[in-house]
Amino acid sequence: MSSLVPLPGVIRPNPPPLWLVTNGEITVGPVLTRLLKRGVAYGKVPEYCQVRPRGGAWRKLEAVREIASLYGSGGHAGPVVAPEVMAELMRPSAPVRDQDELCYGVARIAALITGAESAMLHYSERGSRSMVTRGVFGPVSHALLDVALPDTDFVLRSARVGRPIYGPPFGPIEDALALRFATSAGGVGGAAMIPIFVGRQLRAMLELSRPGHAFRWTDLERAERVALRALHQHES
């Protein structure tokens, strides 16, 4: 059985979220998610309370994924990864030599991990600066498939300097990423781009989109690790 080599990524963990909690009359906090979850579990925080992160909007308790898991609700509990996908992730596999199969597979698994509706994997050959769309997954146009991104592409420029893109909030670069998924069935409520480096060369860009809300940072980290491992195996 082959051992998995830790690979460096560009995504750095965010600090844990802090929540303000209100019953409609009194507001307390900020508190960490684990303390909020404990308060709900022991009945200290009634289910009619609302919470919000600093600078965010008020929302129902079950809109917090960890709280939704206590209630047994799948509505906001985050992406549910099918058992066969988890088995595929955990099983050491032979390197995939076909690049189209590799890119589609990475896009598909990353979408399942993060709860994305659509995903794209842009790939650069070793020694080349061209970034070509090689994998498209989900209900989105395949018009970019096998098309090289122009050097003027805002998202590509960010990837080349190792900067991931994450929205909302949306600015000019995030808008450019969202436009890539403008034909997706559910629209773009959250979008993300993760640059994938092998050594010092940018070898791929993983892009994700979904309706509703932003991606969880921890899910993006998991998707990044899958992409890094797949490309590392492909290069070996």
**Can you give 136-204 as a three-state secondary structure string?**
EECCCCCCCCCCECCCCCHHHHHHHCCCCEEECCCCHHHHHHHHHCCCCCCCCCEEEEEEEEECCEEEE
Q: Is 114 helix (H, G, I), strand (E, B) or coil?
A: helix
- Among 78, 105, 123, where does a domain finish? 78
| Domain end call among 21, 48, 78 | 78
Q: What is the pLDDT of residue 15?
A: 65
Query: For residues 110 and 102, what is the distance between their CA atoms, to the nearest angstrom?
Result: 12
What angle (nearest 5°) sits at the alpha carbon of residue 51, between those of residues 49 and 55? Answer: 155
Residues 99 and 154 in one domain: yes
Structure tokens at 159: 């990837």
Provide the CATH number for the domain around residue 67.
Answer: 3.30.1490
Alpha-helix residue ranges (DSSP H) falling in the chain:
33-41, 65-71, 83-90, 99-114, 154-160, 172-180, 217-235
Residues 24 and 70 in one domain: yes
Question: How many structural domains comprise the chain?
Answer: 2
Cα–Cα distance for residue pair 68/146, rounded to 1 Å: 40
Show the low-confidence residues of the chain (pLDDT under 50).
1-2, 73-78, 80-84, 86-87, 89-90, 92
The residue segments making up the domain with residue 138 are 83-235
Are 64 and 122 found together in one domain?
A: no
Q: Are residues 211 and 103 in the same domain?
A: yes
Q: What confidence score (pLDDT) does residue 70 get?
A: 65
> What CA–CA distance (Å, rounded) separates 103 from 99?
6
Average pLDDT, the chain: 82
Instruction: Let me know whether 46 and 133 are in one domain.
Output: no
CATH number, position 130: 3.30.450.40
Looking only at the bridges linking them, the beta strands covering 50-53 and 27-32 are: unpaired
Q: Are residues 118 and 217 in the same domain?
A: yes
| pLDDT score for 90 | 45
14 phi-psi bin (left φ>0, alpha ψ -120 to 50, beta other): beta
Write down the pLDDT at residue 2. Answer: 47
Residue 127 shares a structural domain with residue 107: yes
pLDDT at 96: 52
H-helix or E-strand containing 135? strand 132-137
Same domain, 21 and 130: no
For residues 47 and 38, what is the distance between their CA atoms, to the nearest angstrom?
13
Query: Is there a single domain that holds both residue 29 and residue 96?
Result: no
User: Do 119 and 103 belong together in one domain?
Assistant: yes
Answer yes or no: pTM beyond 0.95.
Answer: no
Which pLDDT score is estimated for 123? Answer: 96
**Do 68 and 55 fall into the same domain?**
yes
Residue ending a domain, among 78, 93, 126, is 78
Quick: pLDDT tens for 208-233. Answer: 999 877 888 888 988 999 899 888 88
Predicted confidence (pLDDT) per residue in 54-70, tens digit: 778 898 888 888 777 66
- Please state, as a whole number, how many other Cβ atoms lie within 10 Å of the Cβ of residue 134: 23
Q: Are residues 25 and 130 in the same domain?
A: no
